[in-house]
Structure 1
C-alpha cells in the first residue's frame, strides 16, 4: 500500500498512516507536497520519520512528478521483500491496551477463521471504534453475536473509565501518538510576514468581498461555458452539415436515427461538456473550492448541513453521480440524506446542455441564468423542508484550508479527458442507440401512440406538446439524450419550430428537477439503498411537476406565449 501523506498537514495525514500500520499491510509512505511545506517553513526529517514509522518514507511532489518513480520503486521492493521493514507497532494507554488485548483474545478463541483473514488486533481496535463494517463481519461469523456482546461489555467498562465514547478515546490516543511523532520529526521556521495565500484568504473568505468573488466566479464559469459552447457548437454544425448530413438515408428511420444521434451528440453535447469540466477542474486545482465551502457554511446550516456540503453540491453541476458518492464526506446519515436529495436537483453538465442549447440559444443567456437562480432557490427550499422533516441536529465544521497554487495544465487536461472519455464511451452509445430506437418506433408507427399516451399529462398539466414525451423518457437513461431525442423526434434542430418560448422554459425547468438519470439512481441505491432511493426519486418528480406548473402559470399570466 502506498500512503500519500500531505507534508504541509503532517499531523492530520498521519492518522491514516497509523490505521494502515494497525492493519499490518506492506506500506510505503509518499511524503507529498514537500515544496508547499517548505514554503510554510516546515522542515521534516524524512530519515527520522522513516525510522520512527519503520517503513520507507519518500519525499515527493506529485504535480511535477518529482519522487513519484522512487515511491513506486520502493513499493515494488517492499512488496517483493527485497527491502526489509520493521513497521511500528501502534500501542495505546494502559486501559485501552487492556481492552484491546481482552477483545483480541476473544477473537482468537471464538472466531479463528476471521482472524486468518484480518489481523486479530486490528479487528479488536475496530470493534472498540464500533466500526459498522467489522461488526457486520463479526455477526456473519459463527459465535459472532457472543463475541460482540462480550466486546460491548469491555467497551462499556473503558468508556466508564474515560468518561467518553470508545471512538473518541481511540482517536485521542492516536492523535496523542501522532503529536509525539510530529514533535520529533518536524521543525517550524518562524514567519514574520503574511504570505500571498494569507492575503488572498482575507479576500475570498471576507463576509462581503468573499460572496461577491464567489458570485463572480460562478457567473463567469457559466457565461464562459455558454459562449464557448455556442461557438464550438456552431463550428461543428457547419462541418457536419457539409460532410455528413448529405450522406444520411432519410427513408430508413432506424439508420437515420443512429446518424442523427451521433450528430446531436457532436453538436449539442460535446461543445458544452468540455469547457465546463476544464473550468471546474481549474477551480478545484487552484484551491479555491474549500474557501467557497468555508464561506457558505452559515448558509448550509440553514438546510441542516455545513460548508463542506458545498463541494459535492458544486460537483453536482458537473455530474450528479460523483456528487452523490461524495456525500460520504458528511458525518451523519441525516446529512447524507438531505445532501443527496439536494444534489439530485442540481443541474448537472447534461442538464446544463439542455438549458444552454434550448433556452440560452433561443431566449438568451439571461433567461438561462434565471432558470439556474430558480433551481438554486428550489434546491435550498427543499433542503430546508428536509431539514425540518428528518430527525436529528446539524453538526459544526472544522476544515483545513489547502494552499493556493497555480493550477497544473496537465492535471486539468487529464481530469477533463477522463470525464469526456467516460461520456464518449458510456453516454454516446446510449445516445446513438436511443436515436436509432426512436427512428425504429417511427418506422413501426409507434412514436405517435407513445406520445398520445403521455399527452394528457404533458398538455393539460405542464402545457407541453406531445413531441416532448419520448425525449423525457430517454432522459431517464441519460440527461444528454433529452435534447438529442427532441431533435430526433421533432425532425429538426431548430427547436423554435416545435416549442414556443414558454414551452422551452417549462420543458427545461421540468427536465432539471424530474427523476435523476439511471446512473445517479444506481449511485443513490449504492449509498442509500432502496427505500431512500425511491423516496428521493419520487420527491424529484413531485417537485418537478409542482415547480413546472407554477412556472407555466406565471409565464401565462405574464403574457409569454
Structure 2
C-alpha cells in the first residue's frame, strides 16, 4: 500500500542545470512553495508516490559551492547536514561537466549518498561532447544516469535507482587529494573524530584547511588545540604551494575534476562556429545586440497589442450577443439590469485583462526557456550600474511587467541586501500586466499605439530616476555581474505550459 515506505531526497545543482524541470516532472501537482525559515529564499517541496513508496522531494537553491558566502549556500549545506536526506540527486549540466563536477566533489566530501543525473545530454552531443558515464560512475563510485529533463527522458530511472539503492545500501568511494593535503586532513581528523560532531570529520578537516570561518569557530570550541595546529598546517601548505591555503584546496579540487573529465569526456571539435555561438555573437554584440534586443522587446509588445486587440474585439462581439440574449429573455426590468451589470463586470475583466496578460506570459516564458533573458541581463549591465545595481536586476524587472509580486519575490537572486532593496523598489514602479491592460486595452485602442508607447517610456524614465536616487542615498558599492550564460535551446511547450 502506498505510503508504507518513505524516502527523502533533495535535488542539488548549479543554476541552469535543469533542476526545476526535474522537480516539476517528479512531483507534478503534489508540491508546495514557501520560504526557508528566517530567509526570503524560496523553498520548494513536493511528494511522489511510486512503487509503494512515498518519496518526499526538496528542491535546494541553485548554488555553485557549499561555502557560506551566500544565504543559498548556507541553506543547502545546513539542510543536507542537519536533516540527512536519504539521497542527494545532483543535477549536472552535461555540456559543462567540469564546472559542475567541482560542486559534485563538495557533495561527496560531505559523505552524503549522491546520485548524479547528467542532464541535457542532447545539448552536449550537439556540442560534440561525448561522456563515458559508466567510466565516470566507476571513478566516483556513485550512480551516474543520463537524462534529458525537458523531454522527461531518463527521469523515471532516477527513482528506480534510488529505490534499488535504498534496498541494497551503497557506500561511495572517498576521493583522495595530494599527499601533503591528505596528511593535513589526517592530522586534523585525529583531533576531531573522538568528538560528537555535527558534520563528518573529513569534511570538517577540509573546510578548516579552506579557512571556513564557521567551521574554524566550531572546531575551536570542540578542541582548543586546533586553532594553533591549523595555523601550522596552513603555513606548511602555503610554503609548499606558494598560495593561500584556501586557494590550494580549491586548486586541488579543480585539478582532480580536470583529471576526471579528461578520463571520461571526448570532444569532437568543429572548425565552423555552431548556431549557438553565432547567435551569441549577434545577441551580445555592442551594436547588433542592442538592436536585436529593442527589436525583440518592441516586437513582443506589438504582438501582445495585436493579439490582445484581436481577441478582445472577438470577445466584445460575443458578449454583445449575450447581452441581446439576456435582454430578450430577462427583459429590461431593474432586477434584470442589475443582474446583467454583475455579469458584465466579470465579462469586462475577461475581455480586457486575459487577451493581453495571456500572450505576455507565453512570450516571456518562451524567451526565458530559449535562453534570451540572460542575454538581456548582460546587455543591460552598464545601464543598470547607473542605477546602482547590475544587469541581473533585469530579470525581476521583466517579471514585474507580468506582475509586481513575483517580480519582487525574484529580487532574492540579487547578492546583497542593498541591491535586493533597490531592485524591489524599482519593480514596484514597473507597469505590471494590470496597468498594461489599461495602457493597451484603453489608451492603445482609443487614443493610439504611440501614446501607449509614450506612457511606457515615461514609466521607464521614472524607474531610472528612482534607481539613481536610491543608489545615492543607500550606502554601498554595486556588485559586479557574475552569472552563467545558458545555451540557446528550443523552448519546450510542456515546460512553458506548466509555468
TM over 0.5: yes
Closer, same or farther in 2 for the Cα pair 1:9/1:259, shift >3 Å?
Answer: same
Q: Could you say which residue in structure 2 is the equivalent of 1:70?
A: 157
| In structure 1, C-alpha distance between the alignment counterparts of 2:122 and 2:439, rounded to whole Å | 43
Q: Is the 8 A contact 2:418 2:476 kept in 1?
A: yes
TM (normalized to structure 1)?
Answer: 0.61
| In structure 1, C-alpha distance between the alignment counterparts of 2:143 and 2:413, rounded to whole Å | 29
Closer, same or farther in 2 for the Cα pair 1:158/1:336, shift >3 Å?
Answer: farther
Q: Could you say which residue in structure 1 is the equivalent of 2:113?
A: 26
Most deviating of 205-214 and 95-104: 95-104
Q: Could you say which residue in structure 2 is the equivalent of 1:278?
A: 362
| In structure 2, C-alpha distance between the alignment counterparts of 1:106 and 1:295, rounded to whole Å | 49
Task: Please give the secondary structure, in 1, of the residue aligned with 2:402.
Answer: coil
The alignment status of 1:215 with 2:283, answered yes or no, reads no
Superposed CA RMSD: 3.9
Q: Could you say which residue in structure 2 is the equivalent of 1:389?
A: 473
Of 100, 112, 129 in structure 2, the residue corresponding to residue 13 of structure 1 is: 100
Q: Could you say which residue in structure 2 is the equivalent of 1:473?
A: none
Closer, same or farther in 2 for the Cα pair 1:316/1:43, shift >3 Å?
Answer: same
Q: Could you say which residue in structure 1 is the equivalent of 2:263?
A: 184
| In structure 2, C-alpha distance between the alignment counterparts of 1:271 and 1:187, rounded to whole Å | 49
Of 123, 126, 135 in structure 2, the residue corresponding to residue 48 of structure 1 is: 135
Q: C-alpha displacement at 1:285, in angstroms?
A: 1.8
Task: Please give the secondary structure, in 1, of the residue aligned with 2:90.
Answer: strand
Task: Please give the secondary structure, in 2, of the residue aligned with 1:340.
Answer: helix
Task: Please give the secondary structure, in 2, of the residue aligned with 1:180.
Answer: helix
| In structure 2, C-alpha distance between the alignment counterparts of 1:257 and 1:126, rounded to whole Å | 68
| In structure 2, C-alpha distance between the alignment counterparts of 1:391 and 1:26, rounded to whole Å | 44
Question: What do residues 486-517 of structure 1 show as CA deviations (whole Å, max 9, x unaligned)?
Answer: xxxxxxxxxxxxxxxxxxxxxxxxxxxxxxxx
1:77-476 equivalences under 5 Å are 77-78=164-165, 80-82=166-168, 85-92=170-177, 94=180, 98=184, 102=188, 109=195, 112=196, 115=198, 119=200, 121-122=202-203, 146=221, 162=238, 171-243=250-322, 259=343, 262-415=346-499
Most deviating of 162-171 and 399-408: 162-171
Q: Could you say which residue in structure 1 is the equivalent of 2:7?
A: none
TM (normalized to structure 2)?
Answer: 0.68
Q: Could you say which residue in structure 1 is the equivalent of 2:33?
A: none
Closer, same or farther in 2 for the Cα pair 1:414/1:130, shift >3 Å?
Answer: farther
Closer, same or farther in 2 for the Cα pair 1:376/1:187, shift >3 Å?
Answer: same
Q: C-alpha displacement at 1:89, in angstroms?
A: 2.7
Count residues in correspondence: 402
| In structure 2, C-alpha distance between the alignment counterparts of 1:258 and 1:99, rounded to whole Å | 74
| In structure 1, C-alpha distance between the alignment counterparts of 2:234 and 2:463, rounded to whole Å | 41
Q: C-alpha displacement at 1:253, in angstroms?
A: 12
| In structure 2, C-alpha distance between the alignment counterparts of 1:182 and 1:215, rounded to whole Å | 40
Question: What do residues 58-100 of structure 1 show as CA deviations (whole Å, max 9, x unaligned)?
Answer: 112222333223233223323x234x53324355554587469
Closer, same or farther in 2 for the Cα pair 1:147/1:381, shift >3 Å?
Answer: farther
Q: Is the 8 A contact 1:298 1:307 kept in 2?
A: yes
| In structure 2, C-alpha distance between the alignment counterparts of 1:350 and 1:152, rounded to whole Å | 59
| In structure 2, C-alpha distance between the alignment counterparts of 1:32 and 1:387, rounded to whole Å | 40
| In structure 2, C-alpha distance between the alignment counterparts of 1:85 and 1:156, rounded to whole Å | 37
| In structure 2, C-alpha distance between the alignment counterparts of 1:17 and 1:409, rounded to whole Å | 30
Q: Which runs of 5+ in 2 are unaligned?
A: 1-87
Task: Please give the secondary structure, in 2, of the residue aligned with 1:29.
Answer: strand
Q: Which has the higher contact order (CA 8 A, sep 6+)?
A: 1
| In structure 1, C-alpha distance between the alignment counterparts of 2:287 and 2:126, rounded to whole Å | 29
Higher helix share: 1
Higher strand share: 2
Q: Is the 8 A contact 1:302 1:384 kept in 2?
A: yes
Q: C-alpha displacement at 1:213, in angstroms?
A: 0.6
